[in-house]
Amino acid sequence: MSTTTTDETVSSTPPDKRLPTPARRKRLFVVLGVVAVLAYLSDQLTKLVALDLLADGEPRPFVGELIRFKLIGNPGAALSLGAGNTWVMTAIALAVLVAIVVVARQLGSRAWAVALGLLLGSAIGNLTDRFVRPPGGGQGHVVDFIDYNRWFIGNVADIWIVSAAGLIVVLALLGIGVDGRRDHGGSKSDGASGRGDDA
C-alpha cells in the first residue's frame, strides 16, 4: 500500500520539480568549465607548435598523404567558406558563444556538459585567433594546420567541434535534453532520483 502511494507521489510530481539540484548543477558547471579550458589550451598550444615548426609552409606527412601537417591562415570558416566575410564569421562565432552560455544555464547532464564544454573551448580558441592573429581586430586568420587528404585543412578546435556535434546527435537520438531529462513521447521525465539524467 505504501509502495503504491510512493509511486503515485513520484509520478505526479511535476517535471520542473525534479530538475537537478543546485549542488549537482554546480558540479556540471565545473565539468563544462574544465572541458572548455582543456579544449582551449589544446587548440592554442598546438597552434603555437604549428606556427613554430611549419613556418616554412612545407607539408609534413603524418599518416602518409592521407593526413599531413600544412600551415595556413584561414580567413573564413571550415572548408574556407566565407573567406571574404571574416567579420561575418567572427559575428557568428560570438553568437554561438552567447548561445552556448544561455543553453548551459539549463544544464543537467554530464554528457551535455562535455559537449558544451568542447564547443565553448573551441569557439573561444578560434575567436582568439580572430582578434590576435594578423590582421587582427576581429578579422584575424584562424591557424589551420591539419590537412585531411587535401580535402580541407583544419585545427584541433575543429576536431572538438565535430566530436561535440557527434555527441549532441547521440544525445538527441536518445532523447536526453540539456537538463538531463529524457523525452518519452513528448513528455519529459528523469525517473525518481530527482537529480536529472546521469548521462
Helices (H), the chain: 2-11, 22-53, 86-104, 110-132, 156-174
Is the alpha carbon torsion for 122, 124, 126, 129 positive or negative?
A: negative
Kindly name the residue from 129, 147, 158, 179 that is annotated as catalytic.
Answer: 158
- Neighbour tally for 65: CB within 10 Å: 11
Our answer to whether residue 158 is catalytic in this structure is yes
- Could you say which of 43, 144, 147, 179 is catalytic? 144
Indicate the length of the chain as a whole number. 199
- 183 an active-site residue? no
CB atoms within 10 A of CB 132: 11
Active-site residues, by number, are: 144, 158
